[in-house]
């Protein structure tokens, strides 16, 4: 039996668009080609950014594209206790510290200078929690399955926030805890997260968690060179009819999988069946970005 477990982990700040489809489809095909499992995790740790109903809308979009997941969907809003336990552990290891500094105070520095490492500057202010990126494993090395050997010094990236001043959990901690909780063996996601990986691997090492393999996918950008995103008004994926078939075909082209032209009008299950069989990451070009073929 395959030990591969992949995942798609959208933030429900808006419905999926073509750029998010690339991450979903790439991780799905990589998992299914390996006869592995594919899980969905809704990263809803920031409720003010997540309009009601968007998580369900995302799940309906995945279903429309035939991207059926295994197990039950994991919601990060249910995972507070696990994040708190991890933060406690890091605090005991002196790898996490409270910080009262505001962005404005250190705006003249490229990264947070670590002023609260040796004691909170202003204990009367709301406190965030930061990672001691200068301690723990350094440098961080891994081999990205597309972009090859990577080496970063987390201390040069800065002491990333683990828990925010408003008591909301930060992405870096939550993603690491939940990738381990869900037993993820392979992370496949957009290139924009490649430079977040060093903090995540540093946290995995500190917390003695399994370290997944990583495959970062070229980002699809719009004609103006900007990443497709909700902020850039990327249109939501369709959920019905012929539109879904055409968009799925375009997404396979964007993933360099050269699907046969006649499959462009085929039902999603036929397109996916072919794409799973022929999934080949050797066809992917290691560009940080690529144009949206649908534009
Ligand atoms: N939730 C993140 C996003 O929507 C992705 C997290 C990940 O794949 O690690 O951008």
Is 218 a residue whose pLDDT tops 80?
A: yes
Is 289 a residue whose pLDDT tops 80?
A: no
Nearest CA to ligand 1 atom 6: 9
Is residue 287 within 8 Å of 254, Cβ to Cβ? no
What does the pLDDT read at residue 233?
73
Q: What is the CATH number of the domain that holds 108?
A: 3.40.50.620
Residues 59 and 127 both lie in one domain: no
The pick from 75, 171, 186, 220 for probing ligand 1's pocket by mutation, whose C-beta has the most ligand atoms within 8 angstroms, reads: 171
- Asked if residue 43 has its Cβ within 6 Å of ligand 1, the reply is yes
Residues 71 and 182 both lie in one domain: yes
- Asked if residue 194 has its Cβ within 6 Å of ligand 1, the reply is no
What does the pLDDT read at residue 220?
87
Residues 63 and 209 both lie in one domain: yes
The most distant pair of C-alpha atoms in the chain lies apart, rounded to whole Å, by: 65
Counting atoms of ligand 1 from 1, which one is nearest the CA of 179? 9
CA distance 220 to 286: 12
Is residue 200 within 8 Å of 176, Cβ to Cβ? yes
Ligand 1: centre distance to CA 75 (Å): 13
- Asked if residue 175 has its Cβ within 6 Å of ligand 1, the reply is yes
Q: Among 139, 159, 174, which residue terminates a domain? A: 174
Residues 152 and 15 both lie in one domain: no
Residues 217 and 264 both lie in one domain: yes
Q: Is 193 helix (H, G, I), strand (E, B) or coil?
A: helix
What does the pLDDT read at residue 51?
95
Residues 190 and 280 both lie in one domain: yes
CA distance 165 to 169: 9
Q: Among 174, 208, 223, which residue terminates a domain? A: 174
CA distance 94 to 96: 6
141-161 residue pLDDT tens: 999 999 999 999 999 999 999
Structural domain count of the chain: 2
Is 246 a residue whose pLDDT tops 70?
A: yes
Average pLDDT over residues 233-261: 93
Domain extent, residue 243, equals 5-77+176-291
Is 13 a residue whose pLDDT tops 80?
A: yes
Question: Which pTM value belongs to this model?
Answer: 0.95
Inter-axis angle of helices 268-278 and 242-254, to 10 degrees? 20
Average pLDDT over residues 201-226: 91
Is residue 28 within 8 Å of 16, Cβ to Cβ? no
Average pLDDT over residues 266-276: 98
- Asked if residue 19 has its Cβ within 6 Å of ligand 1, the reply is no
86-140 residue pLDDT tens: 999 999 999 999 999 999 999 999 999 999 999 999 999 999 999 999 999 999 9
Residues 118 and 131 both lie in one domain: yes
What does the pLDDT read at residue 143?
97
Q: What is the 3-state secondary structure (H, E, C) of 46-103?
A: CHHHCCCCHHHHHHHHHHHCCCCCCCCCEEHHHCHHHHHHHHHHHHHCCCEEEECCCH
- CA 159 to chain CA centroid, nearest Å: 19
| Torsion, CA 184, CA 256, CA 32, CA 198, rounded to 10 | -10
Counting atoms of ligand 1 from 1, which one is nearest the CA of 43? 1
Is 295 a residue whose pLDDT tops 80?
A: no
Residues 186 and 276 both lie in one domain: yes
Number of other residues whose CB lies within 10 A of the CB of residue 40? 25
What does the pLDDT read at residue 179?
98
Ligand 1: centre distance to CA 96 (Å): 23
Residues 62 and 89 both lie in one domain: no
169-208 residue pLDDT tens: 999 999 999 999 999 999 999 999 999 999 999 999 999 9
Residues 234 and 198 both lie in one domain: yes
Helix (H) or strand (E) holding 149: strand 148-152
Residues 216 and 131 both lie in one domain: no
pLDDT band of residue 293 (cuts 50, 70, 90) is: low
Q: Is 21 helix (H, G, I), strand (E, B) or coil?
A: helix
Q: How would you classify the pairing of strands 96-99 and 128-131?
A: antiparallel
Q: Among 174, 207, 230, which residue terminates a domain? A: 174
What does the pLDDT read at residue 240?
87
Residues 84 and 52 both lie in one domain: no
* Percent of the chain residues past pLDDT 90, beyond the cut: 89
The pick from 27, 189, 231 for probing ligand 1's pocket by mutation, whose C-beta has the most ligand atoms within 8 angstroms, reads: 189
């Amino acid at each position: 039996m395959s030990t591969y477990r992949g995942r798609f982990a959208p933030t429900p700040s808006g419905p999926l668009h073509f750029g998010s489809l690339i991450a979903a489809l790439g991780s799905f095909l990589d998992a299914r080609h390996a006869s592995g499992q594919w899980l969905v995790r809704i990263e809803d740790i920031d409720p003010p950014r997540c309009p009601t109903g968007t998580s369900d809308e995302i799940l309906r979009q995945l279903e429309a594209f035939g991207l059926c997941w295994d197990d039950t969907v994991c919601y990060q809003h249910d995972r507070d206790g696990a994040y708190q336990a991890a933060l406690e552990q890091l605090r005991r290891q002196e790898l996490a510290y409270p910080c009262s500094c505001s962005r404005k105070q250190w705006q003249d520095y490229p990264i947070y200078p670590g002023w609260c490492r040796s004691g909170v500057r202003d204990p009367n202010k709301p406190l965030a929690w930061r990672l001691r990126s200068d301690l723990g494993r350094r440098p961080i090395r891994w081999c990205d399955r597309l972009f090859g050997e990577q080496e970063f010094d987390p201390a040069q990236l800065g002491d990333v926030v683990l828990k925010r001043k408003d008591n909301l959990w930060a992405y870096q901690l939550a993603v690491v805890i939940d990738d381990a909780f869900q037993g993820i063996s392979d992370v496949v996601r957009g290139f924009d997260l490649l430079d977040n990986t060093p903090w995540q691997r540093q946290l995995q090492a500190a917390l003695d968690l399994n370290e997944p393999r990583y495959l970062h996918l070229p980002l699809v950008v719009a004609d103006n060179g900007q990443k497709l995103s909700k902020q850039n008004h990327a249109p939501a994926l369709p959920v019905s009819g012929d539109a879904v078939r055409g968009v799925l075909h375009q997404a396979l082209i964007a993933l360099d999988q050269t699907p046969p032209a006649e499959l462009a009008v085929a039902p999603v299950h036929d397109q996916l069946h072919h794409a799973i069989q022929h999934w080949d990451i050797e066809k992917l070009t290691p560009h940080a970005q690529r144009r949206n073929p649908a534009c």
